[in-house]
Structure 1
Amino acid sequence: MEFEEFATARTPALLRYAYMLCGDRELARDLTQEVLIPTLVKWRRVSRVERPDAYVRAMLTNEYLTMRRRKSPTTVTVSYEGIEELCAQASSAEAAYTERAAMMQRLSTLPARQRAVIVLRYYEDLSDAQIAHVLGCRASTVRAYATRALATLRVDMAPRPALVAQNGGGA
């Protein structure tokens, strides 16, 4: 008997046995997979045993007992609701990353002093007087740079209206 035939025939029974041992479907799948890998590697030797299924079941039992003896669990049980929440968090993190990347792109289009004012004001949370000190100019100049930079950023962020074909004189 080849390993593939053995695995196809015996995996359902091994999964049931693993489930009965640990009481968790996902952990039972993991345990069974963890046992089938070395079984494949040692298949020549395992296939010569009188009852390969009993041998693999003993391997499964040993894997379960070893897993139970470990100080820290290697798996974390997560409900389907937990997975959905993690996926939602990942997509919101992706959206936040995309938004930050887009803002960095917009900032890179600003002149150097305007960009410095925006960064110092909104990322470093400095006052106009502190920014003026850093840049070596007056606070009124800082406010002028900020006004121009914000206007440019607003124009860049404004939704673009769809182009409408104008026909001269109507239909």
Structure 2
Amino acid sequence: MKEAVEEIRVDQGLQADFVVGPLINQAAIDKVSQLVEQAKALGAKTLFGGRPNEKGGLFYAPTILTNVTDDMEIQSTEIFGPVFPVYTFTDENEVVARANDTEHGLVAYAFTRDLGRAFRLSRNIEAGVVVLNSGSVGTASVPFGGIKQSGYGREGSYYGIEEYVHVKYVLMAGLGQP
């Protein structure tokens, strides 16, 4: 994982082959920095990154944190930054219980070689999007959105357009009859 994260290109969105762009504003940089620093203060270890990117501005370096525990704020907060907190677990049921023990439910990521586990995780994890064996959530043509406190509805795809359409039922009978 460290090798893959080290290869992530940080740049603004008009550059070819960028993967991570800037955060939305200074408050977002401050939030990500605070979450990472709080986790480190409680025992998390920085495997890679852990600071604003050398590009400056609103760029934050892709970060891997290990030794992350459930009592850290980063576990229960939507990060909205390029931070990969790594948790250990003993079995699949523990993973699902921990993943669902939050008021949020935007996107969940899992990596597995077991097809049955992939189907169970996608069915049992409470999130609007479950991504298996990838770091990408897809494209604008797929439905994207959360559940719980992570939002209602979808953007992208047919389901996203449906949010902006008003369905009207009209029944006409007896037209042209005296």
Fold shared, TM-score > 0.5 on shorter chain? no
Structure with the larger helix share: 1
- Output the TM-score relative to the length of structure 1: 0.22
Please, what TM-score do these two structures have when normalized by structure 2? 0.21
Indicate the structure (1 or 2) with the bigger Cα radius of gyration: 1
Structure holding more strand per residue: 2
